[in-house]
Each structure stands twice: as structure tokens, then as C-alpha cells.
Amino acid sequence: MTTMMTAAEVSRGRELLARVQRGCNAVLLGQTELVDLCVIALCARGHLLLEGLPGLGKTELVKTLGRLLGLSFRRVQFTPDLLPGDITGGPILQERGGERRFEFQPGPLFANVVLADEINRASPKTQSALLEAMQERSVTVLGETHSLPAPFFVLATQNPIELEGTYPLPEAQLDRFLFKVEVPGVDADVMTQILTTRRRGRPPEVDVALTAAEVEEMFACVDRVYLPQAVANWAARLVAATHPQRADSPAEVKQSVRYGASPRAAIAIGEAARASALLQGRPNVDFADVERVVIPALAHRIVLQHTAVVGGASASGVVRALLAHVPAVANGLPAAVR
């Protein structure tokens, strides 16, 4: 049986997370909740997809995360002419000792943190080259499998699909992202602060916040956070209720959803909730942690009916209906603990 974290362990884990938190907030002004969700996804060792209009700081946030961590970082600008081999790497003819032979030359995927910038501007063929990398942490080229560095994160940005020159990501690839987070705009006060403190919008330089050893220590702290049975059961019931064929699914699901979420969604909620709890300085997951992470962890894994989309329904709206319909306690008592 797993023992509860000590106060010292909780404090140490919170301190490590706070360093990354402070560095990101220093660069991206007025986006504390967005920063928190990014830190949670990172600590849960998951891939992150940021969606928003151009100019909101998506790329700068990911670059900042890459600088804050003492890990290798590579950026790939996704364009329509990008080929799968451009990111995975491929065989190159080399001459050694008078003999010529093909040797594998690693591509930009062979880094701890990979920024896939404007990922939905590449063709579906190139997008699919990330499927194995994101799930198996390896790439296979010409029948030979090559392991990627550990840890390995894909931090991707994308423009809304309504914009010109974008390709929708396939459901199988969306499912590999722990979080999909929509990047909101900022208000006039934040824009005033940007105008008066940052010439030409240039953000401040940030130093490395965590060494590679401290990153591993941070992961170990998150792993020690306790997930109670009751909280895990609520997360599981939320995911199960996304399937319209279930008798106990809410009306919004039956009317709007074509395909519900897979068990990978429940795993994502559980791991993200652990990181959320540690970010709050707690040794165990609460119902509030599940509620905080369920929309970014679950909404992008729900496939809506076309008629529902035309009618204005959204996956995040369906998840909100689930939160209102599925009680935190299985016997139907109100979730007072929230």
C-alpha cells in the first residue's frame, strides 16, 4: 500500500512546480490559468496542444517552457510541404573505412521537448508521423525502430480550423494529447502592461528553472500523490457517460455525441489531477482537481454529430453537462467536498 506523502515531500514538489509557474507567468502576462494547465500537463508527463488565434503567445509560451527545463529542445515549423522524414529523420549514405552504407540520421523529434508549431498546417501524412512518437516514444524508419529521449514531450500549437490553410488533426492524434487548451485573449489592462513594459512585444529572458535531475524529482513527487478510490470512480464515470449508448448518459450526450472517449481519457484525468493537487500543495487528489482538468483532458476526445456541430454544440459544453449530471459520489449524494 502506498504511504501518504510527507509534508516535506509536498513542499518540495510544490516548490519545483512553482519555479516553472513563475517563469511562464513572467513571460505570458495575464494568463495564470493557462500557465497552470500547461504546468499540470507537463508534470503529468503528457503532450500538450494549444489552440488559439495568431498573436496570443502560444509559441512564446512553449519556447519559455523549453528554456525553463534543463532538457534538450527543438522547434519544428509545420508547413504544407513538410515531409514525415523531415521530422523523424532518415537514412543517409555515409562512407567509413572505405565502405559506404546507410546510417540513420535523427530528425528534430529526437529531443526531450519538441515544439510542433502550427501543427495543423502540415499535411495529414506528416501529422501521422507523430502518432508512434507520441504514444510509443519511438520512431520506425525502414523497419528499424529508434527510441526517443526520455522524457519526451510534444508541445504543439495550432490555429482554429476555420482559418485558411489548416488541416484538422485526426481523432487518433488528438487522443494522444493529454490536454487541448484554448488560448484566450487578454483584456485592455494586460495589453497596456505589454505596451508599456515590452518594446516590440519582446518578452524578458528567462533562465533555466529546473535541472534534468530536478525534472525527474518533480515527476517522482507527482507519482507519490494519492488518488482516492472515490475520486477515481468519479473520473471513470464521467468518461463512461460520454458514450451515447449508455442508458445513464445525459440528454446532451445522446443528442450531440457520435463517439465517446476512450480509457486513455480517464488515465489522462487521473494523472493530471495528481499534478493539480501537488500544484495546490496537497498530498492527495480532491474532486476539485478532477473538475479543474476534465475539460482540457476530455473535450478533445469526444466526437460530435455533424448536426450537433451545425446547431452550435461544442465538446466543452458536453463536458460541462456531464459535470452537472454525473454526481461526484456514486450513490447520488451532492458533492459537498467540492
pLDDT digits (tens, 9 = 90+) for 272-324: 999 999 999 999 999 999 999 999 999 999 999 999 888 888 999 999 999 99
Q: What is the mean pLDDT of residues 11-34?
A: 93
Q: What is the pLDDT of residue 336?
A: 40
Write out the three cell numbers for 134.
507520441
Per the CB < 8 A criterion, the answer to whether 46 and 179 are in contact is yes
Per the CB < 8 A criterion, the answer to whether 146 and 139 are in contact is yes
Q: Where in the chain is the domain with CATH 1.10.8.80?
A: 226-338
Q: What is the pTM of this model?
A: 0.90
Q: What is the pLDDT of residue 331?
A: 61
- Is it the case that residue 41 has pLDDT exceeding 90? yes
Q: Where in the chain is the domain with CATH 3.40.50.300?
A: 1-224
- Is it the case that residue 240 has pLDDT exceeding 80? yes
Task: For domain 226-338, give the CATH number.
Answer: 1.10.8.80
Q: How many CA atoms lie within 13 A of 51 on its CB side?
A: 17
Gap between the Cα atoms of 239 and 267, Å rounded: 10
Gap between the Cα atoms of 203 and 194, Å rounded: 9
pLDDT digits (tens, 9 = 90+) for 102-152: 888 999 999 999 999 999 898 888 888 899 999 999 998 888 899 999 999
Name the least confident of 65-79, 115-129, 152-166, 239-253.
152-166
Percent of the chain scoring above 70 in pLDDT: 97
Per the CB < 8 A criterion, the answer to whether 66 and 113 are in contact is yes
Chain Cα centroid distance, residue 194: 27
pLDDT digits (tens, 9 = 90+) for 199-214: 887 888 889 999 999 9
- Is it the case that residue 163 has pLDDT exceeding 80? no
Average pLDDT, the chain: 90
Gap between the Cα atoms of 48 and 110, Å rounded: 17
- Is it the case that residue 335 has pLDDT exceeding 60? no
Q: Compute φ and ψ for 198, nearest 5 degrees.
A: -135, 100
R_g of the chain computed on alpha carbons: 21
Q: What is the mean pLDDT of residues 254-261?
A: 93
Gap between the Cα atoms of 234 and 266, Å rounded: 10
Confidence of residue 334 (pLDDT cuts 50, 70, 90): very low
Domain 1-224, CATH among 3.10.20.80, 1.20.120.350, 3.40.50.300, 3.20.20.370:
3.40.50.300
Q: What is the mean pLDDT of residues 169-194?
A: 91
In the block, cell 464521467 appears at 238
Per the CB < 8 A criterion, the answer to whether 173 and 133 are in contact is no
Burial, 232: exposed, middle or buried (Cβ in 10 Å; 0-12, 13-18, 19+)? middle
What DSSP designation does 330 have? Answer: T
Gap between the Cα atoms of 101 and 175, Å rounded: 38
Q: Compute φ and ψ for 75, nearest 5 degrees.
A: -115, 135
Name the helix (H) or strand (E) containing 58.
helix 58-68
